[in-house]
């Protein structure tokens, strides 16, 4: 898991060939005005989900993990306090892995909480179970999915 600000994105480009185009999308000058939905960036290897959501209480959420995609969860407005737990420590599968949606849900509780403010992002790799959208009020986020 990585937590950082958009102006530091270059330091992570070497981690995955899709990160360059993913962060270029997050730097679009019109990012805050894009309508909610899915945006193809690099065929199906890299795509973005623009979201407007209401925050929820920690007990309302479930840890999730992916096998085929890395999540770059960027906060445009609002504050998202994301939970984290190593996926290898998860013991309670709530919903088995769905290969079509590339997600497994766990009922375990996070070991750590990370406050992600506007202009910051968290990168979650397949070994990172994460619980996003925790907080009060409206959140505007862009989740970029990058193929492992």
pLDDT, tens digit (0-9, with 9 covering 90-100), for 47-96: 999 999 999 999 999 999 999 999 999 999 999 999 999 999 999 999 99
Both tokens assigned to 21: 């185009």
Task: State the Cα–Cα distance between residues 133 and 135, nearest whole angstrom.
Answer: 6
Domain boundaries, the chain: 2-147
Angle at 71 between CA 92 and CA 138, to 5 degrees: 90
Task: State the Cα–Cα distance between residues 33 and 31, nearest whole angstrom.
Answer: 5
DSSP state string for 70-95: EEEEEEEES-EEEEEEEGGG---EEE
**pLDDT given for residue 43 in this prediction:** 86
Task: State the Cα–Cα distance between residues 148 and 49, nearest whole angstrom.
Answer: 17
The predicted model gives 20-25 an average pLDDT of 98
Instruction: Tell me the pLDDT of the chain averaged across its residues.
Output: 97
- What's the CATH superfamily of 2-147? YhcH/YjgK/YiaL (2.60.120.370)
**pLDDT given for residue 44 in this prediction:** 80
pLDDT tens readout for residues 94-120: 999 999 999 999 999 999 999 999 999
**pLDDT given for residue 8 in this prediction:** 96
- Residues composing the chain: 148
């Amino acid at each position: 898991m990585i937590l950082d600000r958009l102006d530091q994105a270059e330091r992570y480009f070497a981690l995955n060939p899709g990160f360059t185009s993913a962060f270029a999308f997050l730097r679009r000058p019109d990012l805050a005005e894009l309508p909610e939905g899915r945006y193809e960036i690099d065929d199906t290897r890299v795509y973005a989900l623009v979201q407007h959501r209401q925050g929820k209480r920690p007990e309302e959420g479930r840890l999730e993990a992916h096998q085929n995609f890395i999540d770059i969860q960027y906060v445009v407005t609002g504050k998202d306090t994301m939970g984290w737990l190593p996926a290898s420590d998860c013991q309670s599968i709530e919903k088995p892995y769905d290969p079509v949606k590339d997600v497994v849900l766990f009922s375990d509780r996070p070991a750590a909480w990370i406050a992600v403010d506007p202009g910051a992002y968290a990168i979650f790799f397949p070994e990172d179970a994460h619980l996003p959208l925790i907080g009060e009020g409206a959140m505007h986020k862009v989740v970029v999915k990058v193929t492992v």
